[in-house]
Amino acid sequence: MIIAASAPLTVVAGGVTTSFAVTGSLGVPLGFLLIAVILTVFAVGYTAMGRFITNAGAFYAYIAQGLGRPLGVGASLIALVSYNAMQVGIYGLFGFQLSMFLEAKFGFASPWWVWILLCIVVVGILGVNRVDLSAKVLGILVGLEFLVVIVFDVISLGAAPEGVSTATLAPSALFGPALGLILVFGVAAFMGFEGAAIYGEEAKDPKRTVPRATYAAVAIIGVFYAFSAWAFSVGIGPSQIVAKSQESGPDLMFVFMSSHAGVLLADIMTVLFLTSLFAALQSFHNSVARYFFSLGREGVLPGWFSRTSRAGAPWAGSVAQTVIAVIVVVGFILGGEVFGGAAALGDTAFLYPVLTMFTWLTNTGAMGLVLLMAVIAAAVIGFFAKNKRGVGIFTSLIAPALSGIALLWVFVMILQNFPLMLGQEQPDLTTFLLPGVILAAGAIGIVWGYILRSRRPELYRQIGHGTEPGAYGTQLIEVVEDGN
């Protein structure tokens, strides 16, 4: 689930080329390793806290118990907005890519939004079934992604027009003026890594498997992306990788494969690029469904969100996420077709779902999740300050403090470079509106938390504690299951 959310093939094809193109730096491969180090340090306290808290609303429960219930409710709404934004934004790229592929290969022209709506149905069906089914489907897709990227890496190293150069692995390439930008664009590739804790209630042995999955995912993703970015630079040539990435963007990978491995393999990679997007869509959908479930169980949202299917999946949360996706997609369809959003883009009108829906929403979601991780680091310190629980000072204070400062710096860098991330020459309304949505969600959640404290004190006491013995949420779930 974690690696599916990070979408390996999508990151190598799109994220790596975008990083080279926008930063103009050769330090992209080492940037992935640096982010992996920061997140590994973050995971030290995060997974330690997870040994004492098992909750499908991971961020929400951690912050509620570490920094207070109102902040926990605020975090829950930021998480809902961020995960929804990531998931719905990816639909834009999926619909565009599939529509373009079918037209290029079969001459079949079709609206991009048709494929999005069909995909929403498939994702929704998988979402209301047991997580095992989603995991099996995603496991196969992710395995194929890794295989095809490894093939690409091998071919790149074999091509090496300038020799197998280590120019992009020099520390001087990373630690320069573009360091902040490299981290800003690279951190999005890791979004979803924190998701193991979300599945803690469904795991057979969460105290062991959740930390193991978290560390393994960070290590695998970091090393794999760094190696693939380096191989990419070798295949194109270090002196050409920035210029070629600026010229071709994500298509550079497929153009390269067409000329070095044949059209058939390039087409297979394109299909797997689409399945990579599908895997990420399913993973984020599942995360949103479980947040709805956790908040409904504890009364922060209406109780019906906590309803599960006979298979044990949070079907109400899954349906809610599906409805949100449909509403937002329809909004972008109307924006493009009725209000002239696509026409306003001129010659790039055909890229409307990519330049707006995908770019706006995924960058907004990544920003929200980075903010949450910075707050989680503070929550770890607060949680263990109340009771050490036998945890050492490095785990309870030093590691979360270091990672929290680093993540907060990355968040500030995202805010400073948000127009660049949105591809804007000059800031406009969306530059401020999109970050505002994240901050407003947090503020509304905090206010709602205080309202619950004054009006429903018994429910308030259970916020972030829904899986503890005797908790209101646990009793509610038992009633719902008996009703089924």
User: What whole-number percentage of the chain has pLDDT above 70?
Assistant: 90
Predicted confidence (pLDDT) at residue 262 exceeds the cutoff of 90: no
| Higher-scoring residue by pLDDT: 50, 83 | 83
Residue 47's pLDDT is 87
* pLDDT for res 391: 86
The DSSP secondary structure of 118-185, one letter per residue, reads HHHHHHHHHHTS-HHHHHHHHHHHHHHHHHHHHHHHHHHHHH-TT-S--GGG-HHHHSSTTHHHHHHH
Residue-wise pLDDT for 162-174, tens only, equals 888 888 888 988 8
Q: Which domains, ranges and CATH numbers included, belong to the chain?
A: 2-483 (1.20.1740.10)
Single pTM value for the model? 0.85
Which range scores top for mean pLDDT: 118-122, 265-269, 343-347, 359-363? 118-122
Task: Please state which of the ranges 54-68, 241-255, 261-275 shows the lowest mean pLDDT.
Answer: 54-68
Phi-psi region of 157 (alpha: psi -120 to 50; beta: other; left: phi over 0): alpha
Q: What is the pLDDT of residue 82?
A: 92
pLDDT in tens, 78-118: 999 999 999 999 998 899 889 988 988 888 888 889 999 99
Between helix 241-248 and helix 16-23 the angle, nearest 10°, is: 110
Residue 57 confidence (pLDDT) above 70 = no
